[in-house]
């Protein structure tokens, strides 16, 4: 999957994607305390776009 391999290589890129996904799901679905804007930047650059109403 070239889209997730990126510059981190074949094994590290999927780990970063999995860790960021887990962090997102923990906050959103499981209701674990945390601020996504504070958690997700640990996995790379983050852009926040306002949702549509």
* C-beta separation of 16 from 43 below 8 A: yes
5: pLDDT strictly greater than 60: no
- The residues spanned by each domain of the chain are 1-30
pTM above 0.75, yes or no: no
The DSSP string of 1-53 is -HHHHGGGHHHHHHHHHHHHHHHHHHHHTS--S--HHHHGGGGS-----PPP-
Q: Which tens digits make up the pLDDT trace of 18-53?
A: 888 888 888 888 777 767 777 778 877 766 667 775
């Amino acid at each position: 999957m070239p889209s997730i391999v990126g510059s981190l290589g074949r094994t590290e890129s999927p780990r970063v994607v999995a860790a960021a996904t887990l962090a997102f799901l923990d906050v959103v679905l499981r209701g674990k305390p945390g601020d996504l804007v504070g958690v997700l930047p640990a996995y790379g650059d983050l852009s926040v776009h306002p949702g549509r109403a």
